[in-house]
Amino acid sequence: MAVRIDGKAVAEKIKAQVAEEVAALKAQGICPGMAVVLVGDDPASKIYVNNKKKACAQTGIYSEEHVLPAETTQEELLALIAKLNADEKIHGILVQSPLPKHLDEKLVVEHIDPNKDVDAFHAYNVGKIMIGDFAFLPCTPAGVIELIRSTGVEISGKNCVVVGRSNIVGKPMAMLLLHNNGTVTICHSKTKNLAEICRTADILVVAVGKAKFITADMVKPGAVVIDVGMDRDENGKLCGDVDYDAVEPVASYITPVPGGVGPMTIAMLMKNAVSAAKIQNGLSVN
């Protein structure tokens, strides 16, 4: 029976460390600040934004929320980003996705100052992640690395399989595992013999957005299984991409949904906000 990885507990530990760093920066006259921009009234986005606001309050980070109507034009949104780029009390800018269909998400990200890009989605930051010389990491993959570390399992030398190749999770996840000396295979919808490849994984990270997609026969006995998915099952109940009940007896460690990767994403965002404040004040990021 696998050990359940408690994402909430690991996230709380990271937020406590962030709060200490924030207090130390404030003692030097620096108050880390973050702006969250929400366009439209997507209910899931509203929940995420509220959670981010709570985490800022918990860690002592100054936060601003800019809620714009769904019909906001591209020009209006870019004008707000330009204003936040120039605002010295704002060190991190996060534009909540998804944006309404008429807005170009890629263009919006490109207009955020790379030093304030706490999501690490800007092409400049993506390139730095590729070469291993980064200040910010995408929050979800960075959170996954922390969860794996919390188990005490070494990534170095392990066979790591990432199922999913999105720019937000799959691709950066593979790079982070590689930077930690894992031997990495990326699988996706066109992969042949998927179950066979998954069974080679000592560490299996799943981010495909399909409820209970990974079944017990796809998991190597004793593998660490990290479920990034957030889906609904046939009864409308929240679940992940991994069939938790079936896989738990096979794995050595497994993340639940909810309470696994989710809380880590916000904790790592707080960490990025502190890094951004340090960079913009000429301090080194440890």
Q: Is 232 annotated as a binding residue?
A: no
| Vertex 118 angle, CA 115 and 123, to 5° | 65
Query: Residue 65: its pLDDT value, please?
Result: 95
Whether 42 shows a pLDDT value over 90: the answer reads: no
The ranges assigned to domains in the chain are 30-113, 139-262
Report helix, strand and coil shares of the chain as percent, to nearest 5: 45, 15, 40
Query: Residue 157: its pLDDT value, please?
Result: 98
Domain 139-262 belongs in CATH node 2.170.120.12 = no
285 versus 120: the higher-pLDDT residue is: 120
Q: Is 156 annotated as a binding residue?
A: no
Domain 30-113 is of which CATH architecture?
3-Layer(aba) Sandwich (3.40)
Q: Is 166 annotated as a binding residue?
A: yes
- Say yes or no: do domains 30-113 and 139-262 share a fold: yes
pLDDT in tens, 44-55: 888 889 999 999
Q: Which amino acid is at 193?
A: N
**0.85 cut: is pTM over it?**
yes
- The catalytic residue positions are 52, 96, 119
pLDDT in tens, 229-271: 999 999 999 999 999 999 999 999 999 999 999 999 999 999 9
Query: Residue 43: its pLDDT value, please?
Result: 87
pLDDT in tens, 74-126: 999 999 999 999 999 999 999 999 999 999 999 999 999 999 999 999 999 99
Question: Among residues of the chain, what percentage have pLDDT more than 70?
Answer: 100
